[in-house]
């Protein structure tokens, strides 16, 4: 299969290098001509435009900074859409909005081609070492066709469902990671300002229940099952500890907006009479606000 690749920067460059090392023919394009020259030395073929990449390829991939660049490369003048061949597949590895993926899908379908939104997570090291997860949305037959090639790029190839679902997965992953990081940072700034050195705090958090397992690991026991009784840690105790942390933050003058919001949710749950339920019963409040239940019957971790 002839492969095309648009965007050979921080993530795309290592991916193309890996394909070339596997003896795969790759036609490449990048807005920075110089970025391609090291790959040409390894056997890559240069194309002047994304259109020319598509004309030379059965499978076209792109790895670009964001939605504006993807839309321009895919749908703009001299874009992939102008050169895509009937029966070809376009796989975008960038982080984009689900709405853009769903916009591109019917446009390519009119040309007899398919689109997969396939954002990655793992960073530059993961791209180089082929240890990324690739989260893929689109038609199942297109996924099955591209999976052998994508397995050369990452170790975890996840089919997420219809077009746009790959991007939904990536956005959820990154927003959860960012919010969790800020919550951890709030705690550590509180602890240091309250007089404990950062190394000791790290040992305390890392050695406790939070540090021993990701909060994601616990979803199966409570949220996915919709089970919050009997408690493993009572809501009234968790609420007490969060309130004490907010009180300490006031004393030492550390702003903690995420923790303060958490306290308000816990207080609402306590006001509903849930004090003796598991502290994760607060999940029900977020479900209520979102108008959705997050359940996985017979959940088993992979």
Query: Exposed/middle/buried for 295, CB within 10 Å: 0-12, 13-18, 19+?
Result: exposed
CATH number of the domain bearing residue 235: 1.10.1040.10
Catalytically active residues, by annotation? 170
pLDDT value for 218 = 84
* 93-101 average pLDDT score: 97
Q: Does a structural domain hold residue 62?
A: yes
Q: Is the pLDDT of residue 302 over 80?
A: no
Clarify whether residues 42 and 79 are in a common domain: yes
Better-predicted residue by pLDDT, 112 or 220 = 112
Is-contact 119 135, C-beta < 8 A?
yes
301 is a domain residue: no
On whether both 36 and 150 belong to a single domain, the answer is yes
Number of domains in the chain: 2
Whether residue 159 sits in one domain with residue 60: yes
Q: Mind listing the pLDDT tens digit for each residue in 274-283?
A: 999 999 999 9
Report the percentage of the chain scoring pLDDT > 90. Answer: 95
Instruction: Dump pLDDT digits (tens) for 183-199.
Output: 999 999 999 999 999 99
Whether residues 123 and 208 fall in one domain: no
Are 207 and 146 part of one and the same domain? no
Domain C-terminal end among 140, 163, 186: 163
In the predicted structure, residue 214 carries a pLDDT above the cut 90:
no
Q: Is residue 197 part of a domain?
A: yes
Judgement on whether residues 8 and 102 belong to the same structural domain of the protein: yes
Q: Which pLDDT band, with edges at 50, 70 and 90, does 217 fall under?
A: confident
Q: Give the tokens for residue 163.
A: 């077009």
Taking only the tens place, the pLDDT of each residue in 139-183 is 999 999 999 999 999 999 999 999 999 999 999 999 999 999 999
pLDDT of the residue at 233: 93
Q: What is the mean pLDDT of residues 203-207?
A: 96
Q: What is the domain range of residue 34?
A: 3-163
pLDDT value at position 223? Answer: 95
Q: Is residue 297 part of a domain?
A: no
pTM for this structure? 0.92
Decide if 243 is inside a domain. Answer: yes
Q: What is the 3-state secondary structure (H, E, C) of 53-117?
A: HHHCCCEEEECCCCHHHHHHHHHCCCCHHHHCCCCCEEEECCCCCHHHHHHHHHHHHHCCCEEEE
Task: Check whether 137 has a pLDDT greater than 80.
Answer: yes
CA 173 vs. chain centroid, Å, equals: 4
Within the chain, where are the H helices? 12-21, 33-40, 50-55, 67-75, 80-83, 98-110, 123-129, 140-150, 165-193, 198-207, 209-212, 235-252, 257-271, 283-290
Q: Let me know: does 89 contact 146? Beta carbons within 8 Å.
A: yes
Average pLDDT over residues 93-98: 97
Q: Given this model, what pLDDT does residue 192 score?
A: 97
| Domain edge (last residue) among 137, 163, 189 | 163
């Amino acid at each position: 299969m002839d492969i095309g690749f648009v965007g050979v920067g921080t993530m795309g460059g290592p991916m193309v290098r890996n394909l070339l090392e596997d003896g795969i023919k790759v036609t490449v394009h990048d807005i920075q001509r110089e970025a391609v020259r090291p790959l040409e030395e390894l056997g890559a073929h240069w194309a002047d435009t994304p259109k020319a990449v598509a004309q030379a390829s059965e499978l076209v991939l792109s790895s670009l900074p964001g939605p504006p660049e993807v839309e321009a490369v895919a749908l703009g003048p001299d874009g992939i859409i102008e050169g895509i061949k009937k029966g070809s597949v376009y796989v975008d590895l960038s982080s984009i909005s689900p709405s853009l993926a769903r916009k591109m899908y019917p446009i390519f379908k009119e040309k007899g081609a398919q689109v997969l939104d396939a954002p990655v997570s793992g960073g530059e090291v993961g791209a180089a070492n082929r240890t990324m997860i690739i989260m893929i949305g689109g038609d199942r037959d297109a996924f099955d066709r591209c999976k052998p090639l994508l397995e050369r790029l990452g170790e975890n190839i996840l089919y997420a469902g219809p077009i746009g679902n790959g991007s939904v997965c990536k956005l959820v992953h990154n927003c959860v990671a960012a919010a969790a990081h800020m919550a951890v940072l709030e705690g550590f700034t509180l602890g240091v300002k309250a007089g404990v050195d950062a190394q000791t705090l790290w040992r305390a958090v890392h050695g406790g229940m939070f540090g021993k397992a990701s909060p994601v690991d616990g979803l199966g026991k409570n949220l996915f099952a919709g089970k919050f009784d009997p408690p493993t840690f009572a809501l009234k105790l968790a609420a007490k500890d969060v309130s004490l942390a907010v009180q300490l933050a006031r004393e030492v003058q550390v702003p903690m907006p995420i923790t303060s919001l958490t306290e308000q949710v816990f207080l609402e749950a306590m006001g509903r009479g849930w004090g003796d339920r598991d502290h994760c019963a607060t999940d029900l409040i977020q479900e209520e606000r979102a108008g959705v239940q997050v359940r996985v019957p017979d959940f088993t971790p992979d």
